[in-house]
């Protein structure tokens, strides 16, 4: 009897493929069988680190293994992010990602060793922290509409501070300029504390600042908050309208955080991690950590996080083009 060689070849390929899938399935079913490393690409103490430790500790308890947080900072988060991009896709090296290295650096920096869409499998968003649009009390604008009118009446006369060119506070201001069709001058500083000091002293007119940076100076009247940059009002500042409510319709710009793993991580592992993170976010201590940073929980599916990341990259790229900012 003549043997059909193509049939034999196809059968062998099927056997090998089925064996690989079976082994992969068994590996995923036993996951996790050892401790995991959660890489935070920023120093200890920042919101990124605080969130990662709170969520990681509870996720480890739910999954039955220890999650060790590793701070690998440098290059605005690029070093730690690249480390995870190049890690094995086995679910044992995780990334606590954030908007800077994942949605700003890729469209701002010419040469990065990773691509956020190609090199990562999103697990879930975790939280979003809005900015506050704050002004010095000497600025004669009591709300956003008055500020926009003032800027249009005096183009190029008002200025806004940030912690550095290309950072989130800078791009929040550039988005405001673009959507409100105003001309205000960017003044970069080397760090948040420096620009906050200069704003309080009246050296600059306005800024987009994190809630915990602005909070100590609001009650004494050293600064005035006109709006928050999130899609919803902040629970910490319930009387402060969103930018959209205040007159810049559709404006939203937040610092966001979420969990990702290297690309090609088995779907079963991504699903397990997603379930553990969502359960962790229901825990009172994790909710307390989120609230303390004036953040809003933003959990969801891996597909929702992937779509959000793609939209954030597109939004930031357009903003940089519209503002004619020079990429680094």
Comparing CA positions, the residue from 242, 88, 120 lying closest to residue 176 is 242
Annotate 256-323 with DSSP letters as a single string. EEEEEEETT--HHHHHHHHHHHHHHTTSHHHHHHHHHTT-EE----HHHHHHHHHHHHHHHHHHHHHT
Residue with tokens 């999650």: 67
Q: Report the run of H or E that residue 241 belongs to, with start and end.
A: none
pLDDT digits (tens, 9 = 90+) for 286-314: 999 999 999 999 989 999 999 999 999 99
Phi, psi torsion values for 71, nearest 5 degrees:
-85, 115
pTM for the model: 0.85
What is the per-residue pLDDT for 166?
A: 83
What is the per-residue pLDDT for 14?
A: 44
Phi-psi region of 294 (alpha: psi -120 to 50; beta: other; left: phi over 0): left
* Separation of alpha carbons 242 and 248, rounded Å: 9
DSSP reduced 3-state for 90: coil
Phi, psi torsion values for 209, nearest 5 degrees:
-125, 150
Q: Please give the domain boundaries of the chain with CATH numbers for all domains.
A: 34-129+255-322 (3.40.190.150), 132-228 (3.40.190.10)
User: Which residues of the chain, if any, have pLDDT below 50?
Assistant: 1-26
Cβ atoms of 95 and 39 within 8 Å: the answer is yes
User: Does a cis peptide bond (omega within 30 degrees of 0) precede residue 38?
Assistant: no
């Amino acid at each position: 009897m003549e043997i059909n060689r193509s049939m034999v070849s196809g059968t062998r390929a099927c056997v090998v493929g089925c064996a690989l899938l079976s082994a992969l399935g068994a590996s995923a079913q036993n996951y996790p069988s050892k401790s995991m490393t959660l890489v935070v690409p920023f120093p200890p103490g920042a919101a990124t680190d605080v969130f990662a430790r709170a969520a990681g500790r509870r996720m480890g308890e739910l999954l039955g293994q220890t999650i060790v947080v590793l701070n690998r900072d440098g290059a605005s988060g690029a070093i730690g992010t690249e480390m995870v991009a190049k890690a094995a896709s086995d679910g044992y090296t995780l990334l606590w990602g954030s908007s800077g290295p994942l949605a700003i650096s890729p469209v701002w920096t010419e040469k990065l060793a990773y691509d956020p869409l190609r090199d990562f499998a999103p697990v879930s968003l975790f939280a979003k922290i809005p900015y506050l649009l704050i002004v010095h009390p000497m600025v004669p604008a009591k709300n956003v509409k008055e500020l926009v009118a003032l800027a249009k009446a005096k183009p190029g006369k008002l200025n806004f501070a940030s912690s550095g060119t290309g950072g989130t506070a800078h791009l929040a201001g550039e988005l405001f300029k673009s959507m409100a069709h105003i001309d205000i001058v960017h003044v970069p500083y080397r760090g948040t504390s420096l620009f906050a000091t200069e704003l309080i002293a009246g050296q600059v007119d306005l800024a987009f600042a994190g809630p915990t940076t602005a909070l100590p100076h609001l009650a004494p009247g050293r600064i005035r908050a006109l709006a928050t940059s999130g899609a919803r009002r902040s629970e910490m500042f319930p009387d402060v309208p969103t930018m959209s409510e205040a007159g810049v319709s559709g404006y939203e710009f937040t610092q966001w955080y979420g969990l990702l793993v290297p690309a090609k991580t088995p779907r079963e592992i991504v699903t397990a991690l997603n379930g553990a993170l969502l359960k962790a976010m229901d825990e009172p201590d994790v909710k307390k950590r989120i609230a303390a940073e004036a953040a809003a929980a933003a959990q969801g599916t891996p597909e929702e996080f992937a779509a959000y990341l793609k939209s954030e990259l597109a939004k930031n790229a357009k903003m940089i083009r519209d503002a004619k900012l020079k990429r680094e």
